[in-house]
Amino acid sequence: MGEILRLRGPDEQNIYQDDVLSFVFRRLSIVDLKGGSQPIWNEDESIFVSVNGEIYNHIALRKQLPGQHRFRTDSDSEIVLHLYEAFGVDVFSMLNGMFSLVIWDKNKQQLVMARDRLGIKPLYYSLNDDRLIFGSELKALLVHPDCPRVLKWSDLEQVGVQQKSEVSSYIEGVLHFPAGHYATWQPDKPLSFQSYWNIADSFNRGEDLSVADIENRYDELLEDAVQKRLMADVPVGLFLSGGIDSSLIAALLAKHNANVHCFTVVEKSTYQSGDVENAKKVTESMGLPFYPVLFDLKDMAQQFQLADLECMVGLIESPRFDPEWFFKSELHRTAKTEVPDIKVMLLGQGADEFAGGYSKYLGSEWRHWDDYILHDVKPSLKSHEQENKRVPDRFIQGLRDKDFIDKSISPYQQKMKALTYQLQYFNLWHEDRSSAYHGIESRVPFLDHRLVELLASVPEKHHQTLFWDKKLVRNTLRKHLADYPGDHKKVPFFVTDKRNSIQKFIIDITKNIYPTFITEYVNQSKSLFEKEDMDDLYLRLSKYNQQSEMAAWYLLERMSITICQEFCQNTKQFLD
């Protein structure tokens, strides 16, 4: 299991084993490079902690720690151990960070597991009779002989759509440890979960706040969140798209004289949208190192082979494929090539979900906030609840909204809650896996829980003023980067007003790899789908008409599912 995690933790491996627990930790050294080995034991070596992630407020927490404690390291992770000794499971609500962690108490023979509030860091587990298996990646579980390996077909939603509150692992009997929870386990007791954070607890807490109060507090918290995420004894980078979110991070980094390496994708769509020009101007004005990364989609499509799709399925650990994941992986690869010692990458992810980021963007049709709520938010909420309540399709048309939309909070607050699951399903999932594959840790300042709680507390009367077209974020950017174009539209990754380049990329890579897929999978009786069905899709995509892109997606999906089946059934051989 440890060997499988070598890319996520390339710097060190430590193993612990007793009569109850067998545990291996792979380390990516970022803080206290020489002294921060894990697991970290307490003074009498009766309790240890291991943390995948970062505790950003560890220095402040050390000052608050009561009693006498002897620290063995300067690692941010050790504070969890001593706080647990002092406060028990209340420790998790004290942490500002991203983490999946375990605490082992030898004397009690008790295991405590916890995951950060938004699910930024992954943690999988499986219960088989009395045996508990857990790990930071699905593949670590799959090499264990007791781990289930059967695909969960009922959870194979269309890529980009996740309506379920429980984020699937896509494997029967393997589960994601829920975000914002901790759990305890002992050999003679069942695994017991407890929530320590929920975004809903912050709804409507800001009724007395004015717009100015919220704007000032948002600015203060974001600057502090960015500064905290500079915590590292290694080089730090930023994926600077040139859009609003990453440009704001760059401006705040420069205030702290951070020598952060900025990487920007240069491609036809990013050039046409104005993002490349914005990124260059931001780095020049802030004095930040600028690395333009040229992406030629035509060339990338021609070079994309079946082995690349297999790599992406194993990397993402999912029967899904999206070109954004491949592009992000290539961006990490380039960053590592340009700055070999880089181990931390800041991202703009999470800025949209809770600040109106999807209310107005390039290609959207809504004219104002109420239009967005009526025609996008409310229908999506109804769909979300119908999915969670498993309403049969034949009853959906004509159902009244009142039974599916919570009237006690605003529609946008309900949308915020739904987006906490969407983040785990898509953005946070692929950002974590694509960075870890290249020995890099991704950090997301906009998902500091204090920022999320502030935005959730904004009363409905201020939603249009602050959230329509991301006004709150735009106004904050204007404070720190006055010459940034105020009317710059939100542009999704690799999107312009024409989708031709991405459409052609999907069609071309599918055409490239299908003949090899026939040889490697269909002819070897490994395919889960009939050859005639896939041949028909291949014929349709080859015509380059209006139906070609959808045919390519359907065929690519079938190949990804088949490859994932092989990945699950023969994990070690697949990855070798």
pLDDT digits (tens, 9 = 90+) for 380-431: 888 777 777 777 777 766 677 666 667 788 999 999 999 999 899 989 999 9
- Residues 176 and 227 placed together within one structural domain of the fold: no
Closest Cα partner for 334 from 262, 279, 283? 262
Q: Which residue has the tokens 């498993």?
A: 390
- Residues 508 and 534 placed together within one structural domain of the fold: yes
- Residues 279 and 149 placed together within one structural domain of the fold: no
CATH number for the domain spanning 438: value is 3.40.50.620
Question: Is residue 318 situated within a structural domain?
Answer: yes
DSSP notation for 493-534: TT--S--HHHHHHHHHHHHHHHHHHIIIIITTT--SS-HHHH
- Average pLDDT in the chain: 91
Question: Is residue 231 situated within a structural domain?
Answer: yes
Question: Contact 476/363 with Cβ under 8 angstroms?
Answer: no
Query: Please, which pLDDT band fits residue 521 given cuts at 50, 70 and 90?
Result: very high
Domain boundary residue, one of 197, 222, 239: 197
Structure tokens given for 165: 């509150």
Q: Which residues pair with 237 in a beta bridge?
A: 261, 345
3-state secondary structure of 478: helix
Give me the pLDDT at residue 161, please.
Answer: 54
- Residues 304 and 413 placed together within one structural domain of the fold: yes
Domain boundary residue, one of 425, 450, 480: 480
Rounded to whole angstroms, how far apart are CA atoms 364 and 71? 53
Rounded to whole angstroms, how far apart are CA atoms 309 and 294? 21
Decide: residue 389, CB within 10 A, 0-12 exposed, 13-18 middle, 19+ buried: exposed
- Residues 125 and 254 placed together within one structural domain of the fold: no
Distance of CA 172 to the CA centre of its chain: 22
Question: Is residue 486 situated within a structural domain?
Answer: no
Question: Is residue 345 situated within a structural domain?
Answer: yes
- Residues 60 and 29 placed together within one structural domain of the fold: yes
Question: Is residue 399 situated within a structural domain?
Answer: no
Model confidence pLDDT, tens digit, residues 523-572: 999 999 999 999 999 999 988 777 898 999 999 999 999 999 999 999 99
Rounded to whole angstroms, how far apart are CA atoms 85 and 80? 9
Q: HSE on the CB side for 548, CA within 13 Å?
A: 18
pTM of the model: 0.94
- Helices 427-436 and 411-425 pack at an angle, to 10 degrees, of 30
Question: Is residue 487 situated within a structural domain?
Answer: no
> CB count, 10 Å around CB of 461?
10
- Residues 439 and 511 placed together within one structural domain of the fold: no
Number of domains in the chain: 3
Residue 420 carries which side chain, given as an amino acid letter?
A: T
- Residues 418 and 347 placed together within one structural domain of the fold: yes
Q: Tell me the pairing of strands 236-239 and 344-346.
A: parallel
Residue 452 carries which side chain, given as an amino acid letter?
A: V
Residue 345's domain comprises 208-358+407-480
Range 53-67 average pLDDT: 94
Range 48-52 average pLDDT: 97
3-state secondary structure of 171: strand
Question: Is residue 402 situated within a structural domain?
Answer: no
CATH number for the domain spanning 20: value is 3.60.20.10
- Residues 176 and 224 placed together within one structural domain of the fold: no
Rounded to whole angstroms, how far apart are CA atoms 171 and 165? 16
Query: How far apart, in Å, are the Cα atoms of 494 and each of 422, 448, 473?
Result: 20, 26, 21
Question: Is residue 237 situated within a structural domain?
Answer: yes
Domain boundary residue, one of 165, 197, 229: 197
> CB count, 10 Å around CB of 177?
20
- Residues 221 and 301 placed together within one structural domain of the fold: yes
Q: Which residue has the tokens 């953005």?
A: 427
- Residues 232 and 192 placed together within one structural domain of the fold: no
Give me the pLDDT at residue 235, please.
Answer: 95
- Residues 192 and 212 placed together within one structural domain of the fold: no
Give me the pLDDT at residue 499, please.
Answer: 55
> Edge to edge, what strands does the sheet with 40-41 contain?
40-41, 47-55, 97-105, 110-115, 181-186, 189-195
Query: Please, which pLDDT band fits residue 494 given cuts at 50, 70 and 90?
Result: low
**Is the pLDDT score of 266 beyond 80?**
yes
Rounded to whole angstroms, how far apart are CA atoms 195 and 208? 28
Give me the pLDDT at residue 497, please.
Answer: 46
